[in-house]
Amino acid sequence: MSHIRFLPRIIHTKDTIRSFAAISSNSPPPSLNTIGPYQVFDRNAKRMQRNRAALSEGGSRSRTVDYVREEVAERMLERFLDIKRKFGTILDFGSGPGHFSKLLETDKVGKSIMLDSSESTLNRDSDSKFEVEVERIHGDEENLLRSISPNSQEAILSCLSLHWVNDLPGTLVQIREALQPDGLFLGAMFGGDTLFELRTSLQLAEVEREGGISPHISPMTDTRDISNLLGRAGFNMLTVDIDEVKVAYPSMWELMEDLQDMGENNAVIGRRNIIHRDTLAASSAIYKEMYGSDDGSIQATFQIIYMIGWKPAPSQPKPLERGTGKVNLKDVL
* Confidence (pLDDT) at 26: 42
Indicate if the alpha-carbon torsion angle 23, 41, 219, 305 is positive or negative.
Answer: negative
CA distance 12 to 15: 6
Q: How many domains does the chain have?
A: 1
The neighbouring-strand residues paired with 138 are 116
Burial of 21 from C-beta contacts in 10 A (0-12 / 13-18 / 19+): middle
Decide if 78 is inside a domain.
yes
pLDDT value at 103 more than 90: yes
CA distance 65 to 71: 11
> At residue 153, what are phi and psi to the nearest 5 degrees?
-110, 135
What's the domain range around 134?
43-195+219-247+303-313
pLDDT value at 198 more than 70: yes
Decide if 2 is inside a domain.
no
Q: Which residue has the higher pLDDT, 2 or 311?
A: 311
pLDDT, one tens digit per residue, over 283-321 is 999 999 999 999 999 999 999 999 999 999 998 887 777
Q: Which residue has the higher pLDDT, 276 or 1?
A: 276
- For the chain, strand residue ranges (E) read 87-93, 109-116, 133-138, 153-159, 179-190, 236-249, 298-310
Decide if 295 is inside a domain.
no
Residues 205-218, mean pLDDT to the nearest whole number: 72
Decide if 259 is inside a domain.
no
Decide if 13 is inside a domain.
no
Please tell me the least confidently modeled range out of 107-111, 122-126, 213-217, 219-223. 213-217
Decide if 127 is inside a domain.
yes
Decide if 130 is inside a domain.
yes
Is residue 156 a contact partner of residue 93, using CB atoms and an 8 Å limit? yes
* Confidence (pLDDT) at 36: 61
pLDDT, one tens digit per residue, over 166-178 is 999 999 999 999 9
Decide if 120 is inside a domain.
yes
Residues 235-250, mean pLDDT to the nearest whole number: 95
Residues 276-284, mean pLDDT to the nearest whole number: 90
Say what the pTM is: 0.83
Residue 72 maps to which CATH number? 3.40.50.150
Half-sphere exposure (Cβ direction) of 156: Cα atoms closer than 13 Å: 32
